């Protein structure tokens, strides 16, 4: 189960957006008009994958924090 405010990693070429991600953030990601300038992760036992938080700046959306779920680093 993923959060509605997450970008969900499916494969290196595919991901899906949660329903609560603003359209301006989706546009910045799809048009490759964003820059990642920091990040961290959080993991608890029982979760299917760690939650990765990326600190970003987008052309349309300004500063935002993007939560990524579903990426398995192993």
User: Which helix (H) or strand (E) segment is 17 a member of?
Assistant: strand 14-17
Q: Which residues make beta-bridge pairs with 69?
A: 8
Structure tokens at 38: 């920091």
Question: Could you identify the residue written with the tokens 């953030």?
Answer: 25
* Residue 70 DSSP label: S
Residue 39 has pLDDT above 90, yes or no: yes
Q: How confident is the model at residue 40 (pLDDT cuts 50, 70, 90)?
A: very high
Provide the residue ranges of all domains of the chain, joining segments of one domain with +: 6-69
Q: pTM of this prediction?
A: 0.81
The CA distance from 61 to 48, in Å, is 29
Cα–Cα separations (whole angstroms), residue 68 to 17, 31, 36: 9, 18, 13
């Amino acid at each position: 189960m993923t959060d509605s405010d997450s970008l969900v990693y499916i494969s290196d070429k595919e991901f899906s957006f949660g329903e609560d991600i603003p359209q301006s953030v989706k546009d910045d990601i799809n048009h490759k008009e964003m820059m990642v300038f920091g990040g961290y992760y959080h993991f608890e036992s029982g979760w299917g994958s760690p939650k990765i938080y990326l600190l970003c700046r987008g052309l349309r959306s300004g500063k935002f924090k993007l939560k990524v779920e579903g990426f398995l680093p192993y």
